[in-house]
A and B are shown apart, each in its own frame.
Chain A
Amino acid sequence: MQRTSIKPNPKRFVKEPTPPMSLKGLMLFFLPLAALPATVIAFGKGNLTGIFINGGGYALYLLAAILLRRGLHQEAEYSARRISRAPKWSFKFYAALLVMLATSWIAWLGAGHTMMVSVVFGAGALLGMYLTYGFDPRREKMIGGSHGYSADEVTDTITAAEQIIGHIERANQRINNTEFNNRILTICQDARDVLEIIEQDPGDIRRARKFLNVYLDGARKVSEGYASTHERMASDELEENFREILVTIEKVFKEQKQKLLENDFFDLDVQMEVLAAQLKREGVL
Chain B
Amino acid sequence: MLKIIKKLFGLTLLISTVGIATYQSMVNIGAASNNEIVPKISN
A10 at the interface (CB under 8 A from B): no
In B1-43, the 8 Å CB interface with A consists of 6-7, 9-26, 28-30, 32-41
On chain A, which size bracket covers the interface?
35 or more
Give complex CA distance A69, B34 in Å: 38
Q: Ordered nearest first, which 4 A-B pairs have the shortest CB separation?
A: A131-B10, A110-B25, A128-B14, A128-B13
Take A32-B18, A107-B21, A121-B17 as given contacts and tell me if A131 and B35 are in contact as well, using a CB distance cutoff of 8 Å: no
Main secondary structure, interface of A, reads: helix
Give complex CA distance A102, B35 in Å: 23
Give complex CA distance A125, B40 in Å: 21
| CB–CB A33/B22 < 8 A | yes
The residues of A with any CB-CB pair to B shorter than 8 Å are: 31-35, 37-38, 41-42, 45-47, 49-50, 53-54, 57-58, 61, 99, 102-103, 106-107, 110-113, 121-122, 124-125, 127-133
* New A-B pairs, 15, CB < 8 Å, besides A50-B29, A107-B21, A128-B17: A31-B19, A32-B18, A32-B19, A35-B25, A45-B29, A45-B34, A47-B36, A54-B22, A99-B18, A107-B24, A112-B40, A121-B21, A129-B14, A131-B13, A131-B14
Take A45-B35, A127-B13 as given contacts and tell me if A38 and B6 are in contact as well, using a CB distance cutoff of 8 Å: no
Take A32-B18, A45-B35, A50-B37 as given contacts and tell me if A128 and B10 are in contact as well, using a CB distance cutoff of 8 Å: yes
Give complex CA distance A99, B30 in Å: 24
Give complex CA distance A53, B6 in Å: 32
Q: What residues of chain B lie closer than 8 Å to A31, measured between beta carbons?
A: 14-15, 18-19, 22
The residues of B with any CB-CB pair to A shorter than 8 Å are: 6-7, 9-26, 28-30, 32-41
| CB–CB B13/A111 < 8 A | no
Take A50-B32, A112-B39 as given contacts and tell me if A38 and B11 are in contact as well, using a CB distance cutoff of 8 Å: no
A-B residue pairs in contact (CB < 8 Å), sample of 6: A32-B22, A46-B34, A47-B29, A54-B22, A107-B21, A110-B28
Give complex CA distance A245, B33 in Å: 80
Tell me how far the C-beta of A109 lies from the nearest C-beta in chain B, rounded to whole angstroms: 8
